[in-house]
Chains A and B, each alone.
Chain A
Amino acid sequence: MNFNPLPDAFTLRADLDRSFTKTLYRGADLSTRGVEALFPKAVFVYPGVHLAMEPDQKPGF
């Protein structure tokens, strides 16, 4: 039987998403006079850790 209590591979990830949207609708006269633009913004952070502790052989006796 093979067994290893220590991880033999590990990965770390960090992702950052920045999104910026501007929406400007037209007014009744089809121009943009007096129309306020909309600005939704978003930031997403995705951290991630992965440890691998997989035995490379099937357990057996």
Chain B
Amino acid sequence: MFLTNFQQPVVLRFAQYQMVANQWRRFLGDLSDRTFGLPPEPYDADFNVATVNIEENGAFVEGVTPYVLPPGVIRDVDITNINNRQINEQSLQLSVTDLRNRDARAVFRNYNLDLLSYKRLRMYVHAQSEDAENGEVTAFVRLGTDFSDNYYEIEVPLQMTPAGTTLPEQIWPAENEIDISFEDLTETKVARNLSGQNVLVPFRRFVGRYRVTVVGNPDLSAVQVAMIGIRNPDLEDFGGVDDRLPKSVRLWVNEFRITEFDQTAGWAALARANFNLADFAQVTASIRYATFGFGAINQRISERLRETNLAFDIALNVALDKFLPEKWGVRLPLFLGYERNRVSPRFNPLDPDVPLNRSLESFESADARNEYRRLVETNFTRRSINLTNVGKTRKNPEAKVNIWDIENFTFTWAYTEELRSDIFTAEFLNTRQRFGLAYAFQKERKFWEPFAKAKIFQGSFFTSFGI
């Protein structure tokens, strides 16, 4: 920053030189209602994004609404400071001038959120305007995977706060607050899907005072963007009469948050058995079961199980040679293994924020429901049978070892079959067979010792070095 060309001496004082973060950015795309009318002429609605806070905007000035804390909100205290200073509390301010009818302005922020384990979305909203009456302007929140084709939108008609009001309950009216359950959003999507409407056309439904819109296939388990905006809607959509005039409005939005956990309690069990049948066989078996909602104590709420798992396996080692005469010296170890794993998802994998049971209701017959339930399961089966190191052991250690002895050979055969199916794969089959033949011959070692008898190496000179 520099200042030049002063004719007179001046004194400049600077206060609060601050870096300002902009997590919320202005959305520059078109948010007007898509209708078959004429394309909207571009114009400047003077969309302005700023912050208001209790330290700078909390003063009581005649005719101006001061910034106050929303009812129930408590300022944080910096306890590391010797004065126990209260931390500033601020809101995002969005303002538009002459926003045309059916048009909107919004700010957005990129996220990477999984909201499946949470229950409600909440936000405080304040609005003030010189030309808009109560309910003529709406605030909206979009959550989705993109801004315009796959999103949920919650829209609330706004109560305007008269200028100069000082009561927190009037500055942040309860009617403006967004407090909606995520289930209301997914139910809107289910209703849209049941109605058979084209997914690209916005599907709207009223939930209490909110208007919920679904476009495309948004997914609460993978929210990529959030958007907060102001709209001058066509009041005929809300059952009123619209004056079609542009509106100027200023919005404060505060404490955009998700609340309440899904507290479904899951359980898990594990059993393991180990049998030894003398020296003839060994059996190992285990079974594991865990239901939706189960999680270890150190796991976060979104890391808890989203499916019901059943897994069991049994492994059998048999020394088949115990059936043969011992003097034959045959080695015949057999391994049999079986493993199965079934994962039944709680949420429909093709619509990951809708519970599977809710999706199943759209099927007409019990057969179709069971068929779909089977389709979305992930099933895995592994079977194996092995004969490892089959051969004959030498019974007489004194006998001469010949190069052609049958004891020199060992044989291995292993067979494994894996079968898997899930919602994307009807069948994945992998079979593997391994044959192995090994020959090993070891004769008695004979060493050639050319200097064994040479006297020169037996003298005291070499032996004294311990060689």
Contacts and interface: CB of A to CB of B under 8 A. Distances in A.
A9 B440 contact: yes
Interface in B417-435: 423-435
B436 A30 contact: no
Contacts of B448: 2-5
B455 interface: no
A15 B427 contact: no
B446 A23 contact: no
A26 B426 contact: yes
Interface in A11-59: 11-26, 30, 32, 35, 37, 52, 55-57
B443 interface: yes
B431 A19 contact: yes
A-side interface mostly: strand
Given A10-B441, A17-B433, A60-B467, A3 B447 contact: yes
Interface in B426-467: 426-451, 457, 462, 467
B434 A61 contact: no
Contacts of A23: 425, 427-429
A37 to B, nearest CB: 8
B191 interface: no
A60 to B, nearest CB: 5
Interface residues of B, number: 33
Given A11-B439, A25-B426, A17 B450 contact: no
Contacts of A3: 447-450
B430 A8 contact: no
Nearest to B443: A8
A13 B285 CA distance: 34
Contacts of B439: 11-13
A43 to B, nearest CB: 10
Interface size class of A (residues with CB under 8 A): 20 to 34
Interface string B30-65: 000000000000000000000000000000000000
Nearest to A27: B426
A10 to B, nearest CB: 6
Contact of B436 (A8, A15, A19): A15
B375 interface: yes
Contacts of A17: 432-434
A4 B447 CA distance: 5
B431 A16 contact: no
A4 B424 contact: no
B187 to A, nearest CB: 24
Given A17-B433, A19-B430, A21-B430, A11 B440 contact: yes
A22 B429 contact: yes
B447 A14 contact: no
B133 to A, nearest CB: 50
A48 B423 CA distance: 43
A57 to B, nearest CB: 8
Given A12-B438, A13-B436, A23-B425, A2 B462 contact: no
B427 A13 contact: no
Nearest to B434: A17
A59 to B, nearest CB: 10
Given A20-B431, A57-B447, 7 more contacts: A11-B439, A12-B439, A18-B432, A22-B429, A22-B430, A23-B429, A25-B424
Interface of B: 375, 423-451, 457, 462, 467
21 contacts: A1-B450, A3-B448, A3-B450, A8-B446, A9-B442, A11-B439, A12-B439, A13-B439, A17-B434, A18-B432, A18-B433, A20-B429, A21-B428, A22-B428, A22-B429, A22-B430, A24-B426, A25-B426, A26-B425, A60-B467, A61-B457
